[in-house]
Amino acid sequence: MQKNIAGTEVEVDAEGYLTDMNQWSGDIANAIAEELHISPLSEKHWAVINWLREQTANGVELNIRKVGASGVVDIKEFYQLFPGGPLKNASKIAGLHKPTSCL
């Protein structure tokens, strides 16, 4: 389905995740973060977002443990940065599919 995010028409699934990570932009990330009440995005948020996108582009299946072992953020800080489902919310903001490890 189509959704207008930050003035851009993008394709999203039923839960609002982008279906094509190439449609993503920083403006879209900021708009999604605002919808999720996770804003403004700090440098640490962007470090996590960029790491998630890089891992996904390299075919890595994401999960909480991998994020905690990333060296970018520990698990406690990950939960603080992206409350209410850190991997789900961070992935949505990063323009990625919903991780299979998330219910």
Number of domains in the chain: 1
pLDDT tens by residue, the chain, 103 residues: 999 999 999 999 999 999 999 999 999 999 999 999 999 999 999 999 999 999 999 999 999 999 999 999 999 999 999 999 999 999 999 999 998 776 5
86-93 and 26-35 helices, crossing angle to 10°: 140
Give catalytic residues, as residue numbers: 102
What one-character DSSP code corresponds to residue 98? P
Q: Which domain holds residue 37?
A: 2-93
Domain-embedded: residue 99? no
Q: What is the pTM of this model?
A: 0.95
Domain-embedded: residue 57? yes
Residue environment code for 26-58, b if the CB has 16+ CB neighbours within 10 A, otherwise e: eebbbbbbeebebeebeeebeebbebbbebbee
The contacts of residue 57 (CB under 8 Å, 6+ apart) are: 21
Domain-embedded: residue 61? yes
